[in-house]
Amino acid sequence: MDTGGNSLPSGPDGVKRKVSYFYDPEVGNYYYGQGHPMKPHRIRMTHALLAHYGLLQNMQVYKPLPARERDLCRFHADDYVNFLRSITPETQQDQLRQLKRFNVGEDCPVFDGLFSFCQTYAGGSVGGAVKLNHNICDIAINWAGGLHHAKKCEASGFCYVNDIVLAILELLKQHQRVLYVDIDIHHGDGVEEAFYTSDRVMTVSFHKFGDYFPGTGDIRDIGYSKGKYYSLNVPLDDGIDDESYHFLFKPIIGKVMEVFKPGAVVLQCGADSLSGDRLGCFNLSIKGHAECVKFMRSFNVPLLLLGGGGYTIRNVARCWCYETGVALGTEVDDQLPQHEYYEYFGPDYTLHVAPSNMENKNTRQLLEEIRNNLLDNLSKLQHAPSVQFQERPPDTELPEADEDQDDADERWDPDSDMEVDEKRPIPSRVKREAIEPERKDSEAPKGTAEQARGFDNMATNETLSTKSVDVRPLAIDEPTVKVEQETSNKASDPIYPKS
């Protein structure tokens, strides 16, 4: 069956793409707490739009298999992952020192199912990377992912586990170079930090800079050691509109693609850069935001699309629905279909929202200075970097469906390091079409435990900065289960207050 969509009339991009889409119907049940701006419910709203626009039938739909502790530890510290697994709202008062140590509390609260939430969104991103590595699809989508602030040893900015770093590590098993592009209004600091000394991962972040979280992302931050010039930061001011944004985005990304020649691209599509976001101060339209997706799609390079920020949740759902259509090459109608969350989108009940009349503080002179500065930095990279020869771990294999596996919910590997009481079926309201059981990691030689976590030197004598992680390809199990599309959500799903 053809899993592509109708082509977008966009010149060299006018071809169909096979798209894999990851979604867990339970993700909308997670709740950060009353008054918290991060609402996983927006993922369910997005999915409902995709279902009622008929876009799911044009994609391969997968329910992500939760990432296991050892998968998360390929970037994150063991004690931090153990803390996330064990902490609960009932026990947090007994672990105040640990809460402070790992920056868990206000912005990153403890809530019911926290670790399962992390496993789910990380599993979708890594699963998408595996599908791309095995040429199962051209574009993989996980709107629940994109939590770019999480660090090796701490939570940050509503993010607990950095699914992006884990997905990039998976892509590096097949691709010599991976490009990371971030269009969230906040600087993609966690991903930049992880790869700051590497020339195999280039990070490009377009973000609000100044008195704004997380306070990093100066244009002068360009990488270190072998990674010098492989970190690009595009600092922007309030009110940037579509025209100004693409005055920078297209020439910079075009030059990056020409010089860096990535084998795969990860695009973090944080929707808090849209006009009218509850926490944002940019003035992008949904079409302007989606133009970044369309531009990255035009290079015909394996592409992983992830979510991120976005706090006016009706606009987040609009944006990611439209961008799914862009990935498929399908133009979706502006008039919203009737669906279970239809009342969120009044009074117009349309997909697109007009930008506001807020002042654009990004002058043409400032934009030209930024563009010239960054293009000059890119000119110092004469060609794509070489990759030193080294033994590569075995590829993550895609097993055939196990027709003898009667209970599709019993998906835990017997070698999992999860405790017995955690090895319970994951509740699901979606019917399985085909099961992709987990496979065991290839046995690693003794004495390589630290290497498996990515903290060794890349077969070089250089010592990596303590702020970065080694990007030698690492083995991560594929966490995916294929499912049929879910046509609607249960009426009993919790409805959170509108943003």
Q: Which residue reads 């030059």 in tokens?
A: 255
- Is residue 149 within 8 A of residue 189, CB to CB? The reply is yes
Q: How far apart are CA 190 and CA 155, in angstroms?
A: 10
From 186, 192, 188, 189, select the one nearest 210 (Cα to Cα). 186
Q: Does 496 appear as a known binding residue?
A: no
Stated length of the chain = 499
Please enumerate in sequence order all residues whose Cβ is within 8 A of that of 256, keeping only pairs 6 or more positions apart, or say none: 179, 202, 204, 232, 378
From 294, 296, 322, select the one nearest 310 (Cα to Cα). 322
Q: Which helix (H) or strand (E) holds 203?
A: strand 201-208
User: ∠10-14-16 over CA atoms, to 5°?
Assistant: 140
Q: Which residue reads 């592409």 in tokens?
A: 303
Q: Are strands 139-142 and 264-268 parallel, antiparallel or unpaired?
A: unpaired
Q: Does 21 appear as a known binding residue?
A: no
Residue 399: exposed, middle, or buried by beta-carbon count in 10 A (0-12, 13-18, 19+)?
Answer: exposed
* Residue 246: active-site member: no
Find the catalytic residue in 76, 149, 175, 289. Answer: 149
From 254, 270, 246, 210, select the one nearest 38 (Cα to Cα). 270
Q: Does 189 appear as a known binding residue?
A: no
Q: Which amino acid is at 289?
A: H
Q: Does 272 appear as a known binding residue?
A: yes
Q: Does 79 appear as a known binding residue?
A: no
Please enumerate in sequence order all residues whose Cβ is within 8 A of that of 454, keeping only pairs 6 or more positions apart, or say none: 74, 75, 169, 469, 470, 471, 472, 474
**In the numeric block, which tokens belong to residue 161?**
């586990």
Please enumerate in sequence order all residues whose Cβ is within 8 A of that of 448, keeping only pairs 6 or more positions apart, or say none: none
- Is residue 171 within 8 A of residue 304, CB to CB? The reply is yes
Q: How far apart are CA 439 and CA 417, in angstroms?
A: 14
**In the numeric block, which tokens belong to residue 257?**
């693609």
Q: Does 157 appear as a known binding residue?
A: yes
- Is residue 230 within 8 A of residue 223, CB to CB? The reply is yes
Cα–Cα distances in Å, from 1 out to 7, 57, 59, 60?
A: 16, 10, 10, 10
Nearest 5°: phi and psi at 44? -65, -40
**Number of neighbours of residue 261 by Cβ within 10 angstroms:** 14
User: Helix, strand, or coil here: 252?
Assistant: helix
To the nearest 10°, the Cα dihedral for 215, 203, 136, 13? Answer: 100
Positions annotated as catalytic residues are 149
Binding residues for substrate: 107, 157, 311
Binding residues for a divalent metal cation: 184, 186, 272
Binding residues: 107, 157, 184, 186, 272, 311
